[in-house]
Amino acid sequence: MAKVASKNAKIKDAKASAEAKNWTKVIKAVRSPKTGAYTFKEQIIHKDKVKDFLSAK
């Protein structure tokens, strides 16, 4: 039989789940000055700072 999760474990997972929803993976295409080819810059950032990341050069 499968193990039953304790009530405390469910509460901790709910808190972690709620906190995890505040983070976003952002991928930005950046052009190389030497070759002109595009590379991709990836970061996991807080959802409030997405616009700052995309607007920065």
Q: pLDDT tens digits, residue range 20-43? A: 889 999 999 999 999 999 999 999
Q: Output the pTM of the full model.
A: 0.60
Instruction: Tell me the C-alpha distance between 38 and 52, whole Å.
Output: 20
Counting the structural domains of the chain, the total is 1
Is 2 within a domain?
Answer: no
Domain residues for the domain of 16 are 8-55
Helical (H) or strand (E) element with 20: helix 7-20
Is 43 within a domain?
Answer: yes
Is 28 within a domain?
Answer: yes
* pLDDT > 90? residue 15: no
Is 1 within a domain?
Answer: no
Is 19 within a domain?
Answer: yes
